[in-house]
Amino acid sequence: MDAVRLRCGHRKMLYDEACLHIQNFAQNMVNIQYQITECYKCSFLPFMDIYDAQIKKQIVKTTYGTNFRFNFDNNYVDRLLYFEQHGHYGINILQSNVSEHFTISPPNNANTPLYSLLWALFIGIILWNVGFFIMKCTPLYSRLFQPYLIVNEAENDLGAVAPSRSENTSPLFFFNEPDVNHEIHIERRIKSLDVFRGITITLMLFVNYGGGKYWIFQHSPWNGITIADVIFPWFAWIMGASLILSINSHLRNSVTKKKIFMKVILRSITIFVIGIVLNSMNNNNVETLRFLGVLQRLSLAYMFVAVLETFFLTRPVRYYISGRIRKVEEWLYCWIQCIVMVCLVGTYYCFVSYLNVPGCPKGYLGPGGLHMNGSFANCTGGAVGYVDRIFLNNHLYNGTLVSSVYHNELPFDPEGLLGTLTTAFTVFMGAHASRIILCYRTPNGRLTRWLIIAIILGLLGGHFCGWSKEEGSMPLNKNLWSISFAFVTSSLAFLLKSILFYIVDYQSWWSGAPFHQMGKSAILVYIGHIITKDTIPWNFKPLDYSTHSTVLWMNVWSTSLWIIIAVILDVCNIHVRI
């Protein structure tokens, strides 16, 4: 019975699909067009022609609503319809009118597997921490794990930086390095940054493996923000938070700024090259090889902010500052960096608002294609896309979700050149979070300032996007890394960092496991998951793709394997860092 219900016409329905039955009672042929709600201000596309007394079945997507236009001889009728997974729906075409749609066979609840996963995670976290607490009380725990309890603390975006007191250390990989960050007492180590990174890398793995094919774990086609969209900016933010701790550690150990600068450049080049190598796994043709990517964007943004902080970072000297000005002393130590960042964001704004893009209106930030009824089909990304197509031409990414929604033909790289400017701002915001750690030793002092900045950035981001998805002057857009996107994602990063700091470091309610371990092996996990993405045992094709359930548990399995590997590596005190 289920097998019959899952069929629509000659094909079996998959996840996020329903079956629409259309019967024509009119006395003439009716042309039907469609437009999905996610496609903002788009022109209609052909759906089907149905003749008198004809019945047709057609599979429709359930991810977004669909606006159908029924064209009669002298007029048309629009119907906005929403469907649910595996449901059978009917609609009757009457004489010059269309009935309301009705349910023929009830749908499945597509979110049931997701709810089951959330319950499983909740119970698993409780059992994990209870078991860890019990084991911690046994003598066996002290024998096995006590030598490894002191771990490094100056982290970076994809793996902890371990600046050594000695300059003879290899610049690429570090093992078992001692902590040199004296701003934070050993007995009160800040683990929340590692936990933050671990949560982010875990979400990234889950999303990259498929995210159960739920829309919330997929990137927004253009404007808007989902869980998948915040992962990349959080990595950038964490990178900034880490570089301040690392540079400060070097300065405390009397490392010259010239040597720090050379290490920054070497690390940036290393990350960029790794990104190129990973890109070549999909395309090793040098004529069309994609030059940009996630690691490349991170390396460029990191290099800019790290060089800036290397030459202008000032260690707090408290006896020079007294009175009320002590409440904002962190800004006094970075006023030069702030001016540079304002200029950087201003440069991005001027480019996207005033650059003359041939055939496009100034300030256009849309996806092109069907957007605005196809009036600006060749304007994908506005100035952001135009700059990339000039300088990178055949070396751009050409597989974003925007093309499946807006049917644009121009290539667009979501990690393009102009977006690096606002990504650098995101890195700088992370750097400022750690600057607050260096300036204020009390938990209340740190938490208060983090939360204030989170509120200010959130309000600014809401102002730029007009508190709406589509109508603001600078919409939330991960593909463009718009100003509002940089502000809102940084605001969320400050908020999550504050929560983690409070429950992990301040109150010690949670050890951070297993995300703490994931955060310390993030670079290995990131590279490893790309190399092994389509290999057994991480991934194998299930027997049935008709529901979210099979895909979801496959993605959970793939992600869980890396969590297990990270925990084992941490127990063995093996950490790979760049």
Q: What is the mean pLDDT of residues 367-394?
A: 90
The Cβ of residue 7 has, within 10 Å, a number of other Cβ atoms equal to: 15
Question: Does pLDDT of 313 surpass 90?
Answer: no
**Cβ proximity of 576 and 173 under 8 Å:** yes
Task: Grade residue 11 by pLDDT with cuts at 50, 70 and 90.
Answer: confident
What integer pLDDT is reported at residue 179 of this predicted model?
36
DSSP output for 504-549: IIIS-----TTHHHHHHTHHHHHHHHHHTTTSTTT----S--SSHH
- Kindly state the average pLDDT of the residues 181-204: 72
Burial profile 455-484: b = 16 or more Cβ within 10 angstroms, e = fewer: eebbebbbebbeeebeebebbbbbbbbbbb
Mean per-residue pLDDT, 375-380 = 90
- Determine how β-strand 17-24 pairs with β-strand 88-94: parallel
User: Is the distance from CB of 135 to CB of 223 less than 8 angstroms?
Assistant: no
pLDDT tens for each residue of 530-577: 888 888 888 877 667 778 888 898 899 999 999 999 989 888 887 777
Q: Which of 155-169, 273-287, 476-490 has the highest mean pLDDT?
A: 476-490
Q: Which of 26-40, 114-128, 479-493 shows the lowest per-residue confidence on average (mean pLDDT)?
A: 114-128
pLDDT of residue 27: 80
- The angle formed by the CA atoms of residues 410, 479 and 18, to the nearest 5 degrees, is 80
% of the chain beyond a pLDDT of 70: 87
pLDDT-derived band at 328, boundaries 50, 70, 90: confident
pLDDT digits (tens, 9 = 90+) for 42-93: 989 999 999 888 899 999 999 999 999 999 877 889 999 999 999 999 999 8
- Which tokens in the block code for residue 30? 């009716």
- Indicate the pLDDT class of residue 170, thresholds 50, 70 and 90: very low
Grade residue 26 by pLDDT with cuts at 50, 70 and 90: confident
Residue range 116-145, pLDDT digits in tens: 888 988 888 788 777 767 776 766 555 554
**Contacts of residue 115, Cβ cutoff 8 Å, sequence gap at least 6:** none
pLDDT of amino acid 206: 94
Residues 6+ apart with CB under 8 A from 538: 209, 529, 532, 557, 558, 561
Is-contact 299 271, C-beta < 8 A? yes
pLDDT tens, 221-242? 999 999 999 999 999 999 999 9
Mean pLDDT, the chain, rounded, equals 84
**CB-facing half-sphere around the CA of 571: CA atoms within 13 A:** 12
Contact call for residues 408 and 368 (beta carbons, < 8 A): yes
Range from 97-101, 301-305, 318-322 that averages highest in pLDDT: 301-305
- CA proximity to 500, closest of 200, 300, 115: 200
Instruction: List, for residues 434-471, the tens digit of each pLDDT value.
Output: 999 988 888 898 999 999 999 999 999 999 999 999 88
- Long-range own/partner contacts, residues 539-545 (CB < 8 A, 24 or more apart): 539/209, 545/14, 545/15
* pLDDT for the residue numbered 141: 55
346 or 543: which carries more pLDDT confidence?
Answer: 346
Q: What is the pLDDT of residue 188?
A: 44
Residue of 494 and 441 predicted with greater confidence: 494
